[in-house]
Amino acid sequence: MVLPTSDTLVTYPQGAVGSASRVIHVEIRDDGRRAVLLDTTAFHPVDHAWPDQGPDRGELVADGSSWPVVDCVVGATDGTTLYLGGEAPVRKGTDGWAFVVVHLLDGDGPAEGDDVVVRVDAAHRAALSAGHTGCHLASLALNRALAGRWKKDAAPDALGAPNFDALAIDTTVIGEFGSVDRYRLGKSLRRKGFGTEGLDTDATASIVNATLAVWTSTGAPITIGADGPGLTDRRRWICDLPGEQAEIPCGGTHLASLAGVAVSVHLDLADVDGTPVLRMETRVDVPSPA
């Protein structure tokens, strides 16, 4: 039972929804699921360290048989043990460790050495990609709308505005054609210089949506820059917006352009255990397939 010594090669960053792959490791986990490692895969796994975008759906196919992938996660191995998700005792990129895409199956599956075809649910991938692209755009537009509330210098975002999104984010959940972000407006953020008094969510949403309308009207192309084909190679979301280019570190999947895309947000405030929380719900509408 040989475990890999290098990262899984991944093709999903460039939009692939299928790959010809070879099974390099199979093991049965304690919960009875079959963990399958491939040399190359189009499957996007969920990353325990930042699980904002969930895993792809799909199947592995070989010799007339198909096996649904019930989950897909980032794993790590030191060559002797395979760790899944939060089990890993080291961070991604640690020397001497391989970081892998683990396809989890119920019951039977392919064997080590088998050639398989990876088939990703393209409709589900497209819906999540739309949600992730909209999430990035909305966060940039929100940062710009709130820029005047900072009383101290704050680290800038990809477009130069104070990065409220990075400094206040509590959780992000990316779903089909949208996302939900929650920001904590507590004492820590106020000490960093952000003024929370009199925040009008409707007025702020109007400003955000006006910015998003200008950006999406360009139909700008979106690309993923990558330092290499491995799972842990650094990747960046790149979008040419009017007069400026946004570049954000990102390991997820995205739309190929803003052509025909509409993005809008709704903002509301809530009190969570005594701390004000700003909630941003983002909706993405995309052209219907021809």
Per-residue pLDDT reduced to its tens digit, 3-29: 999 999 999 999 999 999 999 999 999
Once rounded to an integer, what is the mean pLDDT over residues 158-162? Answer: 97
Contact in structure between 134 and 57 (CB atoms under 8 Å):
no
- Percent of the chain at pLDDT > 90 equals 96
Instruction: Say whether pLDDT at 154 is over 70.
Output: yes
> Global pTM?
0.96
pLDDT at position 2, please? 80
Residue 78, sorted as left (phi over 0), alpha (psi -120 to 50) or beta, turns out to be alpha
**CA distance readout (Å), 162 to 30, 106, 149:** 46, 46, 10
Tally the C-alpha atoms within 13 A of residue 234's C-alpha that lie toward its C-beta: 5
pLDDT at position 173, please? 98
Once rounded to an integer, what is the mean pLDDT over residues 49-68? Answer: 96
Burial bucket for residue 30 (CB in 10 Å: 0-12, 13-18, 19+) = exposed
Coil vs helix vs strand at 42 = coil
* pLDDT band, residue 1 (cuts 50/70/90): low
- Radius of gyration of the chain from Cα atoms? 21
Q: And the tokens for 262?
A: 């509409």
**CA distance readout (Å), 164 to 130, 141, 146, 156, 181:** 22, 10, 8, 9, 12
Helices (H), the chain: 122-145, 164-168, 187-191, 201-216
What span, in angstroms and rounded, lies between the C-alpha atoms of 108 and 26?
11
Instruction: Say whether pLDDT at 288 is over 90.
Output: no
Instruction: Say whether pLDDT at 289 is over 90.
Output: no
pLDDT at position 290, please? 59
